[in-house]
Structure 1
């Protein structure tokens, strides 16, 4: 079947630039999206444009999967809510919820961080037992961001503990891939409806910065770990994140600023440094195990990656080293706690293809709907990027030019090329 796909699709070029926004960056950190969809990429003589993700928020849907123990209201200390959001990060929604309810930010919690540029649903917890009136007040606040930036909550259940990272089962994704040419659309339409896919479990680019901004969350974290709060503050001011915007107007010292934040935010930056180090480990391992023409080396938004260009390469990595240790940081009992855990080097999923047809937003091009499940910690767009790369070969990663939008905006400010990363804890 792989041969059939290659014959149908010919040479497919993917753009490897363009940042992708995910909830794993702590703040909104960007201007509002343009209402105009990007134009189909102009690739001259190239037979295949780069696939586009997130042309519209509803093109990227994420539903959290979590087995959540509950208790009777009489025995409970926490309320569990279902958070629906579009255009805001999980951190931003939690902050708005806490402010609306008049509770401390640390009284709200989530099991994972969800993408900003999409329609996402997840569970959150709030200390205390909330009433219907509390939820009405919260949802009034959730409508206040305006435009397509909105969130709302609904009651789910009650229980005896706050949510925490590490308990999430995973996420289900339903994505629309746009801008395909006829050969690629035919390959997807006439190929199998369900694809088994192994991919390297990289932290994707949104882990390291917001769209259009420098990818430097790991550098901020590294400075914090070194005790240099002033250097971390200077980097943060240039980051384009929500915290960066606050830092730009802060009139006190760097030390005072970091103490003003929800303590989970500085912990996020420390985790980003650990994520960068883990990526380097698995990248070196893949290069050592395979190397040669079957590994494509790329620098995307300043973050280096190495990807397999054939389907049999990644299972070989899995057989050799199924896990690598990584360092993680958590805010626990009033302090930042460092620990070590194992992270899978490779993830497996099944990608279902449906709805292949004309792309109504890009005349002459085609779109396809794909859906799949990833365990906690997996990034959806690195899965999709590697899937295309393995199907269509190394040449799919060679193109450098980015797709302009209709209003001339950078594609990082709207639709995103498949190679840029996205999601999600």
Structure 2
């Protein structure tokens, strides 16, 4: 069954055949509660979440204490893992020790030990496959455990397979210092703990120290800085991780100030995440970019999410924040900011009211068993009905900065202060007057208007206006466009190729096939289609980007024609003037809820009305409203 959702223009393709039921959600804010699940699997509003150490010091007994997406953050890490979370970098903490026989299995662990012995005796360029790991958290643990146990190995993902080979930088360093020092240094580099340092053993040979300095500068200069110091008559080399964008020489007091962040759990009602950040930034006198978060949460809901802000006192403003629907709790000091995508998923507590009684329980069961089409939900495209964010993103990808700015400032109906200011700008092109009209809490709009007033409203001025926004806000709009294309691609794929894996579809490779390391995903063959090796649940569709591989069937042509229709047939998915790069990623066609429970009961205030309470978890970037639509067979 296929239909269009006019409200948000998101196609609808249903997977299951049950009848569904009618009902409504978000009658009350309390009917839709979203709680972030952190990388340890804890809900961020639970007491256990506050006991979780920060990224720099995870629990050594917790094998899932960090979700990792290794993305070439230093010359040491050479992972090419392609993630469905669009390749967002995550800093890797020190993992502690792990039992490789448990993580890899006894036979593979023994094979790895033998491989290491061979390297010790005779260095070579061989690789060893550790096998395939479908679960991204399991892959993360393999990376961390192997590199902690054997720092001289380089882990490489050809998803989902993990291979290891010797790190040539380690071999070179081990010729300059002892092997124990080389191993400890690589563990230090791998941990990348903010503000940490490593000191080599005493070395009174100045020429030798110079050689070590030069090697470290050449191979790790962007990541570390080195110096020699003398203590009690002996001289040694100390290595410290660089503070990105900071001057090399700082006093101890300055370094202490720079290394402290404040983490907290934000509970918000009827506010977008970026809107809440804009308001808090304005109230605290800091920039919106000083706040970091793992994901964006619904507006029409009660949501709990982790946030980190550069060192600032929050307590004086908490009463003011509460008046705006924001409550801060679990405030604590941490050593580093959050990263987008650093979460396992979200837990949902939902109430569907005014149900028709027939088919309610059956609908729940069917929706849970079959999963749902993994569409991006309406939140991905912003709340403005007149201009969806994907249209702004398309203008940015075409590098039409003026159109992108005017789309951004297109007002909705109504004459509230924000829309009055937007309307004034569109009608007059006067950024100064529009800035005076724009509410103080609208930090994004004010940043852009301030830049437009300074640099003008021509192409260069509009470019400066976009650059005035934090990177995470700028990239939101091109991502929204790519999400729209992905949604349309799914609907077309299911309509034209059906509900089974077909020749030319893309899937994660599940077995160690011995293929070259250039392959990242597998293309379904004729034989595999005939034998039913893969199901619809295995099928991926690419998000458009400059490294994305497209299906080798009719869908590949569809993507080409769809992008060409928007004038992007030659698009590089890079906007260098805005420092935007969209590599693309792969998103599973289907998603499924987990830990699902439900209760059907009669409403206390209206005995002939049924209410359904649902509780479930979804992976990150999956949308509860889309899951509900599959269960109910209508837009909730």
With over 3 angstroms needed to count, the CA separation of the structure-2 counterparts of 1:344 and 1:156, relative to structure 1, is farther
SS class of match (1:114): coil
With over 3 angstroms needed to count, the CA separation of the structure-2 counterparts of 1:243 and 1:372, relative to structure 1, is farther
1:199-254: CA deviation from partner (whole Å, max 9, x where unpaired):
1111122322316x235211111012212222223322335399866533442227
How far residue 126 of structure 1 moved from its aligned partner, in angstroms, is: 0.7
With over 3 angstroms needed to count, the CA separation of the structure-2 counterparts of 1:289 and 1:361, relative to structure 1, is farther
SS class of match (2:307): strand
Partner of 1:400: none
Contact 1:62/1:118 (<8 A) preserved: yes
Higher strand share: 1
Partner of 1:208: 381
Q: Which of 554, 563, 584 matches 1:340?
A: 584
Partner of 1:136: 315
Q: Which of 321, 324, 340 matches 2:542?
A: 324
Partner of 2:498: 290
Contact 1:48/1:180 (<8 A) preserved: no
Matches within 5 A, 1:53-68: 53-67=25-39
SS class of match (1:364): strand
Higher helix share: 2
Q: Which of 354, 365, 386 matches 1:179?
A: 354
Partner of 2:477: 269
Partner of 1:151: 326
User: Bigger relative contact order, structure 1 or 2, given CA contacts below 8 A and separation 6+?
Assistant: 1
How far residue 273 of structure 1 moved from its aligned partner, in angstroms, is: 0.7
Matches within 5 A, 1:390-401: none
Contact 2:263/2:331 (<8 A) preserved: yes
SS class of match (2:583): strand
- Once residues 65 and 105 of structure 1 are traced to their aligned partners in structure 2, the CA distance between those partners, rounded to angstroms, is 23
Contact 1:221/1:273 (<8 A) preserved: yes
- Bigger-Rg structure (1/2): 2
How far residue 373 of structure 1 moved from its aligned partner, in angstroms, is: 0.6
Aligned length: 321
Q: Which of 264, 269, 272 matches 1:81?
A: 264
Contact 2:603/2:610 (<8 A) preserved: yes
Contact 2:36/2:347 (<8 A) preserved: yes
How far residue 161 of structure 1 moved from its aligned partner, in angstroms, is: 2.2
Partner of 2:344: 169
CA RMSD of aligned residues (A): 3.9
Contact 1:323/1:343 (<8 A) preserved: yes
Matches within 5 A, 1:183-198: 183-185=358-360, 187=362, 195-198=368-371
Unaligned runs of 5+ in 2: 10-18, 40-51, 58-194, 196-255, 432-456, 500-533, 547-572
- Once residues 355 and 338 of structure 1 are traced to their aligned partners in structure 2, the CA distance between those partners, rounded to angstroms, is 43
With over 3 angstroms needed to count, the CA separation of the structure-2 counterparts of 1:388 and 1:103, relative to structure 1, is same
TM-score normalised per structure 1: 0.65
Partner of 2:600: 356
Partner of 1:237: 409
Contact 1:100/1:137 (<8 A) preserved: no
